[in-house]
């Protein structure tokens, strides 16, 4: 016979041998029964089973194309639902390029074949805010955004071919805009606003892309330092003041090199940061490439193949550094004196 999808009618109930009710005491049809099974998995924190259940018993056409999760680290239910939503929403982001001389002015130019995917653009008078101190540029108002990068290696990665360069910008949470007592679904800050996943013809071209991105958002940049091209490029071009350093927890002094080195312990921290971010903001995240990488990564050893996962993770780790608190200083103060260098 035909399935009873919605709540059964009185006539249909006569022919149902095994009647089921929901928590409100109402008889349920097939769709509500499937939803109840998923709710039980969610309450138990078994998000991998929710994902499998969707593929076995889809309740919509879109769910039949939900990509299979490769890990059990993150809330795959949130990831899959949001990916499906974003595939239907062409207005969530705009693709384009950051262009112009970082010494003068960087602007965003929409381009359907562009390298950057942006979900928040700034008024022109709030971009490119910087000052020069002893010949080095520093960002003004650097407390609003952090950026990160994962430079590509020149050699092939076994089984994956040539890797890409990645970059990301995250807006920090701002309590003056978003009430901490409100649901994070209602917050306007605290999310990723720009992503980049591309392999230019040269390392220099990639580094310039990262510099333009960072200068546009007045961000502090926290690069992955296993491949140190980006930090070296910033310093060489007098933008070393845009680099963000981890601080020593014992004395608060900045470490010798900017950014982060992806050790096993740091990868564990990064995975935890992504897990918390997805739980808080995943249902409103606008960058589908980021969500896809979180869904597909298989474990700590897989970070080499998921460049955007590392770059966005760098943004999440960057918020732990207190170094940026010292950078918004008057022009007549030497930042090295403040930090005790």
pLDDT at 113 over 90: yes
- Convert the pLDDT of each residue in 146-190 to its tens digit: 999 999 875 444 445 578 999 999 999 999 999 999 999 899 999
Q: Where do we find the tokens 């089984």? A: 159
Q: What is the pTM of this model?
A: 0.77
pLDDT at 163: 81
pLDDT at 65 over 60: no
- Convert the pLDDT of each residue in 180-223 to its tens digit: 999 998 999 999 999 999 999 999 999 999 999 999 999 999 99
pLDDT at 40 over 70: no
On whether the CB atoms of residues 222 and 147 are closer than 8 A, the answer is: yes
Please indicate whether residue 144 or residue 37 has the higher confidence score (pLDDT): 144
Q: Where do we find the tokens 């490029």? A: 233
User: How long is the chain?
Assistant: 341
Q: Tell me the mean pLDDT in the region 302-318.
A: 94
Mean pLDDT across the chain = 84
pLDDT at 331: 43
pLDDT at 38 over 70: no
Q: Tell me the mean pLDDT in the region 229-242.
A: 97
Q: How many CA atoms lie within 13 A of 273 on its CB side?
A: 20
Q: Minimum mean pLDDT among 37-46, 262-271, 277-286, 331-340: which range?
A: 331-340
Say how far apart CA 77 and CA 66 lie, in whole Å: 10
Q: Tell me the mean pLDDT in the region 92-101.
A: 97
Closest-CA residue to 328 (of 127, 103, 130, 102) = 130
Q: What percent of the chain has pLDDT over 70?
A: 77
pLDDT band at residue 328 using 50, 70 and 90 as cut-offs: very low
pLDDT at 54 over 70: no
C-alpha distances (whole Å) from 129 to each of 56, 148, 250 are 52, 18, 32
Say how far apart CA 285 and CA 155 lie, in whole Å: 32
pLDDT at 240 over 80: yes
pLDDT at 330: 42
What is the Cα gyration radius of the chain?
23
pLDDT at 5 over 80: no
Q: Is 56 helix (H, G, I), strand (E, B) or coil?
A: helix
Say how far apart CA 196 and CA 42 lie, in whole Å: 32
pLDDT at 324 over 90: no
pLDDT at 33: 64
Structure tokens at 146: 């952090």
Closest-CA residue to 82 (of 267, 268, 291, 240) = 291
Check residue 8 and report its DSSP letter. Answer: P
Q: What percent of the chain has pLDDT over 90?
A: 57
pLDDT at 18 over 60: yes
pLDDT at 299: 87
Say how far apart CA 16 and CA 34 lie, in whole Å: 17
């Amino acid at each position: 016979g035909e399935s009873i999808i919605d709540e059964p009618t009185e006539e249909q109930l006569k022919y149902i041998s095994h009647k089921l009710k929901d928590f409100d005491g109402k008889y349920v049809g097939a769709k509500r029964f499937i939803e109840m099974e998923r709710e039980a998995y969610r309450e138990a924190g078994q998000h991998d089973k929710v994902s499998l259940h969707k593929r076995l018993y889809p309740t919509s056409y879109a769910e039949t194309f939900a990509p299979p999760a490769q890990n059990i680290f993150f809330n795959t239910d949130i990831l899959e639902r949001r990916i499906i939503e974003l595939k239907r929403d062409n207005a969530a982001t705009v693709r384009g390029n950051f262009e112009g001389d970082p010494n003068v002015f960087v602007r965003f130019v929409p381009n359907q074949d562009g390298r950057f995917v942006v979900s928040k653009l700034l008024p022109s008078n709030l971009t490119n805010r910087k000052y020069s101190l002893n010949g080095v540029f520093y960002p003004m108002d650097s407390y609003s955004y952090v950026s990160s990068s994962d430079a590509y290696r020149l050699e092939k990665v076994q089984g994956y071919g040539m890797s890409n360069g990645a970059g990301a910008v995250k807006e920090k949470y701002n309590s003056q805009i978003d009430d901490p007592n409100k649901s994070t679904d209602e917050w306007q800050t605290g999310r990723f606003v720009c992503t980049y996943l591309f392999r230019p013809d040269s390392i220099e071209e990639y580094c310039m892309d990262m510099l333009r991105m960072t200068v546009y958002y007045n961000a502090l940049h926290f690069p992955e330092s296993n491949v140190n091209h980006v930090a070296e490029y910033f310093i060489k071009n007098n933008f070393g003041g845009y680099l963000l350093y981890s601080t020593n927890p014992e004395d608060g002094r900045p470490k010798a090199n900017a950014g982060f080195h992806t050790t096993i312990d740091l990868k564990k921290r990064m995975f935890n940061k992504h897990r918390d971010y997805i739980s808080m903001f995943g249902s409103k995240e606008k960058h589908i490439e980021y969500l896809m990488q979180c869904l597909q990564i298989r474990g700590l050893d897989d970070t080499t193949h998921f460049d955007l996962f590392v770059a966005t993770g760098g943004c999440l780790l960057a918020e732990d550094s207190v170094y940026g608190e010292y950078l918004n200083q008057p022009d007549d103060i030497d930042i090295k004196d403040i930090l005790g260098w």
